[in-house]
Structure 1
Amino acid sequence: MTEGLVHFFINIFGGLINMPFGKEIIIFVVSLMPILELRGGLIAATLLHVNPVIAFIICLIGNMIPIPFILWGITPLFNKLKTLKKVDKWVEKLEKRALKKKDKIEKAEFWGLMLFVGIPLPGTGAWTGCLIAALLNMNKKKSLFAACLGVLLAGLIMMIVSYGILGGIIN
Structure 2
Amino acid sequence: MDALIHWLDNYIHGPALVFVVSMLPIIELRGTIPIGLAMGMDLWPTFILAYIGSCVPGPLIILFIRDVFKWLKTYPNWRRWIEKLEAKTLARGDRTRKLGLFGLFLFVAIPLPGTGVWTGSLLSVLLGFRFIHSVIAVSLGNFVAGLLILGLSYGVFNVIG
Q: TM-score, normalised by structure 2?
A: 0.92
Local SS of the residue matching 2:77: coil
Gaps of 5+ in 1: none
1:16/1:23 contact within 8 Å kept: no
CA distance, structure 2, for counterparts of residue 156 and residue 164 of structure 1: 12
Q: Which structure 2 segments of 5+ residues have no match?
A: none
Taking a change above 3 Å as real, the CA distance of residues 8 and 52 of structure 1, as seen in their structure-2 partners, is farther
Offset of 1:27 from its aligned partner? Answer: 1.1
Identify the residue that residue 34 of structure 1 maps to in structure 2: 25
Alignment match of 2:110 (pick from 119, 138, 154): 119
Q: Which residue is equivalent to 1:11?
A: 6
How many pairs align? 161
By how many angstroms is 1:11 displaced? 2.6
Flag the structure with higher helix content. Answer: 2
Structure 2: distance between partners of 1:88 and 1:103 = 22
Q: State the secondary structure of the residue aligned to 1:138.
A: coil
Is 1:68 matched with 2:59?
A: yes
Offset at 1:116?
0.7
1:57 counterpart residue number:
48
Hey, what's the Cα distance between the residues in 2 that align with 1:34 and 1:13?
15
Give the TM-score of the pair, scaled to structure 1. 0.87
Q: Note if contact 1:31-1:37 (Cα within 8 Å) is conserved in structure 2.
A: yes
Q: Which runs of 4+ in 1 moved over 3 A?
A: 7-10
CA distance in 2, matches of 1:77, 1:164: 41
How far apart in 1 are the matches of 2:9 and 2:67? 36
The whole-number CA distance in structure 2 between the counterparts of 1:156 and 1:74 is: 28
In 2, the alpha carbon distance for the partners of 1:56 and 1:90 equals 34
Deviations along 1:143-165, one digit per CA (max 9) or x if unpaired, are 11000100110111011011222
% identical equivalent positions: 38
RMSD: 1.6
Match among 81, 87, 90 for residue 78 of structure 2? 87
